[in-house]
Amino acid sequence: MSQSAKDRILRLRADLDHHNRLYYVEAAPEISDQEYDRLYRELLDLEAAHPELADPDSPTQRVGGAPQDAFSSAAHELPMLSIDNTYSPDEVREFDARVRKLLPDEKIQYVVEPKIDGLSMSLRYESGRLVRGLTRGDGQTGDDVTANIRPLHDVPLKLHGKSFPDAVLIRGEVYLPISTFEKLNAAREKDGLPLFANPRNAAAGSLKLLDPKESAKRSLRFYAYSVALWKDRPDTHRACLDQLKAWGLPQAPGIDLYDDIDQLIASIDQRRQNQSQFDFATDGLVIKLNSLDQQDRLGATSKAPRWCIAYKFAAERAETRLLKISVQVGKTGTLTPVANLEPVQLAGTTVARASLHNFDELARKDIREGDLVVVEKAGEIIPQVVEVRKDARHGHHGHAEKFPVPNKCPVCQADAVRDPEGVYIRCINPACPAQLKERLRYFAGRDQMDIEGLGEALANQLVDAGLVHSPVDLYSLTAESLTQAKEAGKLERIGELSTKNLIAAIADSKSRSFDRVLAAINIRHVGGHIAELLAAAFGSIDALSAASADPAQIEAVPGLGETIALSLRDFFASPSGQKLIEGLRQAGVQLKVPAHQKKEPQLLAGKTLVVTGTLPNFTRPEIEALIKSLGGRAAGSVSKKTDYVIAGDEAGSKLDKARQLGVKTLTESQFLQLIGRKL
C-alpha cells in the first residue's frame, strides 16, 4: 500500500466529515450534492481496495448493518424523566413563582427551546466515540437502537475537536422532517400501505425497524438538547449547547435566553406563529433554568425535574371559507357531512377538508355553504369546524340555504333513513359501492385480517373493476385475474411483485383468529373488543349464530347488551349475512376458536387499560393482546373509568390526562409485576 493512498483516505474522511458538519449542523454547505457524492464514491473505492485501513468512524460506515432479531434493553445511567406540562401563561407564572421561592434573592435566567414532537434519545460517547444509543423507554431502561442511530448524519460517530470527556451522555430528539413525512406517506399510499398518523409516529416506527438499512432509508434527523454525566461541564445550559454544537451536534433553531418572565411570556404567541417555518413538528416550548447549579439544587420529584416545564400550545385555529358541503358514505352506510374548504395552513399542514360530524350537529351550528368558518386542528386530530362567523354573512353568502338532510344515498341513490337512535342517517343498500369500498378497507385492516398492500386506492380499484363485490371475493383473486385486469386498464400501479405479495397476504389472512374475523365482517356495533367477548363466550360462528336467535343469550354475556344482541340477530337472520359467513367458510377462514387454545387466567377481568408510548419489550398489538388474553379491555383513550395506564417511551397526552384524572400509571415492568409475569 502506497503512503499516498493512505493519506488520500484520511484526507477524504476529514473532508467528508467537514462537509457533513457544514450541511447538517451549520446549514451552510460549501459544495454541491454531486461533488459530495463524487468524494464519497472515491472514498468507498479506496477503502474497498485497502481493507486494512477500515475505520468504524469513517463516513462510509453510516450505512445500516445486518437485520436484528430484536432490540435489547439497557438501564439508563441517569434516569430520563418526563417534563410537567402547562397550558396557559398563568401556569408559566406559577412555575416561575415556585422557582423563585426555592431560590430566593438569586438571579433567574431561563432558556426557551422549541418542544420537538419526536422520540427522545440518549447517546453515550466514550473518548469522543459513539458507543450506544438508547430510547427513553420507561425513563429507567430503554431500547438499544445504536445500529439505527449510526446512519443519522446529525449524529457524529466521533465528536469533533481534540479533547473530550472520558464519558458523556448527550440527550436529544430524533424526528422526521415534515417534508420527508409527507413524501413517505405519499409513497405508502401509492403502495396501498397504512399511512402514518403524524411525523412523530413515523419517526418512532422508523427508528424501531429491525433492519438498520431500512431504517436508514427514512432520513431521520436529530437535535441535541442537553448533556449529562459530564465531569467538567460548563456552568450554564446555554454553554453546554454551544459545546454540543462545537462537537458537531445540531440544535433546534429558536433557542433564546430570558432574564424576565414577562418578556418570556410575551414571546410565546410569536413563537407559536413561527413554528410553521420549521420543517419539524412542534407542540410547544420547553422552559429551563439556565444555571446548572440551580438545576442541581432544585432537583426533581419522582416523575419530573423542578427546574423545567413544558408549555403546550393549544389547538390551532384558522379562518377560511366553506366552499361546499359533501356527503361521505361509511362502511355501515352512515352518511356524514364533510366541509370542503378553501385551503388554509393549520398546524403545519394544508387543510382542505374538515369533519362536520353529523346532520344534527350541522343544523345546531347552522353551518352553510359559503360561510366563513373557524377550523381547529390539535395534534393528529382530524380538522373540524368549531365556529361559524355568522356576522360575516353578506350578499350571496348571507342567503345560502340550510343544507338539506339527504333522503337518498349520494352514491347509489338508495333510500337513506334515520337510525332509531335518531342521530345518524344511513344508506340501507348493503350493495352500495361506497359502503363496499369502506368495508373492504376495514376487513383488510391491520387489527382485523391484516392484508398488507390492500389500502384505500387498491380497494377502490377492485370494486370499480368489478373484481370484488364482497370481502369473500378477495379469496378468489389470482395473480392471473389481477394481471388481466391491469392489462385491460382496470387496475393501475400494481406490478408483478405487488400482485404476488397481495395474493400471499390474502392467503395468510385465513389464519387470523376467530375474534379478528368476527370483527372484520363488520356486524354493526361489533368492534374488536366485543368480538373478543363473543369469541370467548361462544367459541364458533355456528354457536354464535344459533345463540343470536335468542337475544337473551347474548345479553347474558358480561359486557354485552340489547343493542348488540339485536344487531347480531338481524345480521345472522339476513340473507347477506348468511351468504358472507358461508363464503368465508368455503374460503377456509378461521370461524372457531381452536380446541387446543389455552385460556389464560382472567387476572384483568373487568379492568380497562390504556397503553401509551413505546414499550421496551412489547409492540402495541402484543401488549394489548396480552391484556385481552387476561380478560382486560385495551382501550384507546383515557377516562375516569380507566383502571390503569401503561406508559412507555414518549408517552404523550394520554399520560397527561391520566395524571389529571388520578388514574394509576404503570411502567412496563410494573405491569408485568401486576400480572405475575417475567420477560
- Among 297-311, 395-409, 521-535, name the one with the lowest average pLDDT: 395-409
The HSE-up count of residue 208 (CA atoms within 13 Å, CB side) is 24
Mean pLDDT, all residues of the chain: 84
pLDDT digits (tens, 9 = 90+) for 199-225: 877 788 778 776 667 667 778 899 999
Question: What confidence score (pLDDT) does residue 643 get?
Answer: 92
DSSP class of 194: P
**How far apart (Å, rounded) are the C-alpha atoms in residues 276 and 272?**
8
Amino acid at the residue 401: E
- The residue annotated as part of the active site, out of 6, 101, 107, 115, is 115
For the question of residue 115 being annotated catalytic, the response is: yes
Question: What is the phi/psi pair of residue 141, to 5°?
Answer: -130, 155
Q: What percent of the chain has pLDDT over 70?
A: 90
- 97: number of Cβ within 10 Å: 11
CB 203 within 8 A of CB 196: no
* H and E: helices and strands count for the chain: 26, 22
pLDDT digits (tens, 9 = 90+) for 361-396: 888 888 999 899 988 875 445 688 888 888 888 654
Lookup: cell for 123: 447517546
Q: Cell 438538547, residue?
A: 225
Tell me the sheet residues that pair with 319. Answer: 374
Question: What confidence score (pLDDT) does residue 66 get?
Answer: 46
Question: What confidence score (pLDDT) does residue 25 get?
Answer: 56
pLDDT digits (tens, 9 = 90+) for 456-504: 889 999 999 999 999 999 999 999 999 998 888 888 878 888 899 999 9
Tell me the sheet residues that pair with 175. Answer: 221
Burial of 492 (0-12, 13-18, 19+ CB in 10 A): exposed
Tell me the sheet residues that pair with 144. Answer: 134
- Among 274-278, 415-419, 599-603, name the one with the lowest average pLDDT: 599-603
Q: Is 662 helix (H, G, I), strand (E, B) or coil?
A: coil
**Predicted model pTM:** 0.50
The HSE-up count of residue 588 (CA atoms within 13 Å, CB side) is 9
Question: What is the phi/psi pair of residue 496, to 5°?
Answer: -65, -45
Question: What confidence score (pLDDT) does residue 64 get?
Answer: 45
**How far apart (Å, rounded) are the C-alpha atoms in residues 249 and 153?**
10
DSSP class of 450: -
**How far apart (Å, rounded) are the C-alpha atoms in residues 57 and 27?**
22
pLDDT band for 594, please (50, 70, 90 cuts): confident
Question: What confidence score (pLDDT) does residue 27 get?
Answer: 55
Question: What confidence score (pLDDT) does residue 617 get?
Answer: 79
Provide DSSP, 285-308. Answer: EEEEESBHHHHHHH-B-SSSBSSE
**How far apart (Å, rounded) are the C-alpha atoms in residues 619 and 48?**
39
- 446: number of Cβ within 10 Å: 10
pLDDT band for 506, please (50, 70, 90 cuts): very high
Question: What confidence score (pLDDT) does residue 65 get?
Answer: 46
The HSE-up count of residue 545 (CA atoms within 13 Å, CB side) is 16
Answer yes or no: is pLDDT of 600 > 70.
no
Q: Is 320 helix (H, G, I), strand (E, B) or coil?
A: strand
Q: Which helix (H) or strand (E) holds 250?
A: none
**Distances from the Cα of 478 to the Cαs of 496, 512, 645, in angstroms?**
12, 20, 45
* Closest residue by Cα to residue 139 from 303, 292, 288: 303
**How far apart (Å, rounded) are the C-alpha atoms in residues 480 and 486?**
10
**How far apart (Å, rounded) are the C-alpha atoms in residues 517 and 443?**
8
Question: What confidence score (pLDDT) does residue 291 get?
Answer: 95
The whole-number average pLDDT for the span 558-565 is 80
**How far apart (Å, rounded) are the C-alpha atoms in residues 432 and 461?**
15
The whole-number average pLDDT for the span 306-314 is 89
- The CA radius of gyration of the chain, in Å to the nearest whole number, is 29
Answer yes or no: is pLDDT of 555 > 50.
yes
Answer yes or no: is pLDDT of 631 > 90.
no
The whole-number average pLDDT for the span 278-307 is 88
The whole-number average pLDDT for the span 418-432 is 80
Question: What confidence score (pLDDT) does residue 67 get?
Answer: 42
Answer yes or no: is pLDDT of 69 > 80.
no
Q: Would the CA dihedral through 239, 240, 242, 243 be positive or negative?
A: positive
Question: What confidence score (pLDDT) does residue 62 get?
Answer: 62
- Among 162-171, 173-182, 333-342, 598-607, name the one with the lowest average pLDDT: 598-607
The whole-number average pLDDT for the span 285-308 is 89
Tell me the sheet residues that pair with 135. Answer: 121
* Closest residue by Cα to residue 640 from 627, 666, 613, 658: 658
- Among 135-139, 247-251, 441-445, name the one with the lowest average pLDDT: 135-139
* End-to-end Cα spacing for the chain: 51
Domains and CATH numbers, the chain: 3-62 (1.10.287.610), 85-312 (3.30.470.30), 316-398 (2.40.50.140), 433-511 (1.10.150.20), 514-587 (1.10.150.20), 608-674 (3.40.50.10190)
Question: What confidence score (pLDDT) does residue 16 get?
Answer: 83
**Distances from the Cα of 530 to the Cαs of 6, 420, 499, 561, in angstroms?**
68, 21, 34, 11
